[in-house]
């Protein structure tokens, strides 16, 4: 499990550096992505 957390943390650091984002901006983007995927799933699956 520790390997998963370490991998996830490294991926977050890589994405924030690559796109020049803060962690807060990344948090907002992932939240919006989750909302969008939820809406699409509700619209087309259920």
Q: By the 8 A CB rule, do 16 and 23 touch? A: yes
Whether the per-residue pLDDT at 39 is higher than 90: the answer is yes
Whether the per-residue pLDDT at 10 is higher than 90: the answer is yes
pLDDT tens digits, one per residue of 13-37? 999 999 999 989 999 999 999 999 9
Q: What is the pLDDT of residue 31?
A: 97
Task: Kindly state the DSSP code that residue 21 receives in the 8-state scheme.
Answer: -
- Spatial separation of the C-alpha atoms in residues 26 and 17, rounded to whole Å: 11
Q: What is the pLDDT of residue 32?
A: 97
Residue tagged 């919006």 (tokens): 32
Q: What is the pLDDT of residue 46?
A: 79
The C-alpha R_g of the chain, in whole angstroms, comes to 14
């Amino acid at each position: 499990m520790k390997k998963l957390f370490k991998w996830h943390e490294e991926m977050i650091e890589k994405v924030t550096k690559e796109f020049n984002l803060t962690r807060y901006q990344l948090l907002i983007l992932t939240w919006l992505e989750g909302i969008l995927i939820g809406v699409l799933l509700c619209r087309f699956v259920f």
